[in-house]
Amino acid sequence: MLFSSPEFIFLFLPATLAVTFLVGRYSDQGAKLFLILASAVFYIVSGPEDLVVLALALVANFSLALAIERGHYTRLLLTIGITLDVLILGYFKYFDFVTDTINSAFGHEVSHGEFRHLPLAISFFTFQQIAFLVDVARKRIRRPNLVNYIFFLFFFPHLIAGPITSYLPISRQIELKRVFTPRVRNLCFGLALFSVGFAKKVTLADPLGAYIIPFFDKQSELGFLTAWLAAFAYSFQIYFDFSGYSDMAIGLGMMFNIRLPLNFASPYKSFSIQEFWRRWHITLSNWLRNYLYIPLGGNRHGTGRTYANLILTMVIGGIWHGAGWGFVLWGLAHGVGLAVNRWYGRSGLPSLPRWFAWLLTFLFVTAVWVLFRSTTLAGALTQLQVMANPLTALTDSYRPFARPAELNRMLVLVGISGAIALLGPPAYRIARATIGPNHGLALRTALYCGALFALALIGLTGGTSKNAFIYFRF
């Protein structure tokens, strides 16, 4: 079930809010249990087998957490838990990729076996469960509560594609008395943020996603201008798709009085690749830093080791996103970019002009998105070669990819998307204005968010929005 679907907006969400607040008037625990049940229903729409995998992983991890907390064989049990989580993720997500690689490299015919359905959100709940085990082993979590743990994993706003959450912040919030009672400020903020995210998804990301399909299907026919146009369009598509989803998720959480962590902070305004990763998919960046980069040694063992840790962390981050060499190279490119960024900042060389630093960062991020989007590595490398060769503009043509009217609409949409991404305020600031002390501004902003919601709804009911969220099967 998509957040941007009519059945979610007009049926599931209002019914779930109403019943949660009704039960919450009499029992905090009852409202909590109902939300877990509602979240399971939300998740099971994608297939009953998905819920079975999540439930079995939940039971195994919580049992191991209780054993770890006792303090006996902590390192061994933690290793078993992490290994189990990685193996589950690896079996469903990477087995075919590994066997295909072996077959290609050695001429073997390792069988894929039976088809493996990729459970929805497996990458996200795997990272959250690993973090839970590590925090229990580090004594940050004491006496974990089973119901709170299930709620932390199942709460439907963040269940499918994040933000990646931690057990403690969620557990502390749902332990508060009368937490599941309606609060006008939170409802206003949540509705406004949901509306902005909804509009990002339906009016910007989905149309861009439809326009770029022919470009990435025919990468061998691209020229310099069409290759860059496709790259810019995808760069804005994935940003508005994923940040829009995150806005909707955080807004939904606030409607239920649960604060979820910020996930995007205008990343395309960054002046370095390091700053980009402080603004893009913030909860993933924090997870990679806290549970991978720092345990690897961080910057504590010399310059060379620091660069190696940065690169390895980002390669693993790339692999987490998907099973394919394009994702590996995407992560490698960002790891090398971070290492170069760190080296330059400590080299004593003069700082780059801010306009040039921004342009370099934006073009780098845009170019390597090609590795992320392309179906084949060969196609990605072909497009990147063309993007590095301005001479191909002499023979470039848009005709294999779009009719003149479609191209014009695509150009306009890329221009609007770029202006919003580079000049517009973050969505959370827009939503926060609806509950600010300036009542006139609050009213105007609320009307603006309502207009965005109506515009997105027209696009949704008109059939222009057909794409699932990009991160739904990561």
Catalogue the active-site residues.
Answer: 321
Residue 226 to residue 300: CA distance in whole angstroms: 45
What does R_g of the chain's alpha carbons equal in angstroms? 23
Residues 6+ apart with CB under 8 A from 353: none
Q: Is the peptide bond before 6 cis (omega within 30 degrees of 0)?
A: no
DSSP-derived secondary structure letter, 111: -
Closest CA to 296 of 312, 276, 315: 312
Give the rounded distance of the alpha carbon of 20 from its chain centre: 27
Give helix then strand counts, H and E, for the chain.
23, 0
Segment holding 143, helix H or strand E: none
Please state, in angstroms and rounded to a whole number, the distance separating the CA atoms of residues 296 and 395: 49
Cα separation values, 67 from 72, 73, 148, Å = 8, 9, 18
Burial 165-191 (b: 16+ CB within 10 A, else e): bbbbebbebbeeeebbeebeebbbbbb
Residue 460 and residue 202 in contact, taking contact as beta carbons nearer than 8 Å: yes
Nearby residues of 55 by Cβ (< 8 Å), 6 or more positions away:
none
- Going 8 to 126 to 317 to 134, the CA torsion angle's sign is positive
Decide: 471 and 161 in contact? Cβ < 8 Å: yes
What H or E segment, with its residue span, contains residue 470? none
- Which run of H or of E encompasses 72? none
DSSP label at residue 114 = S
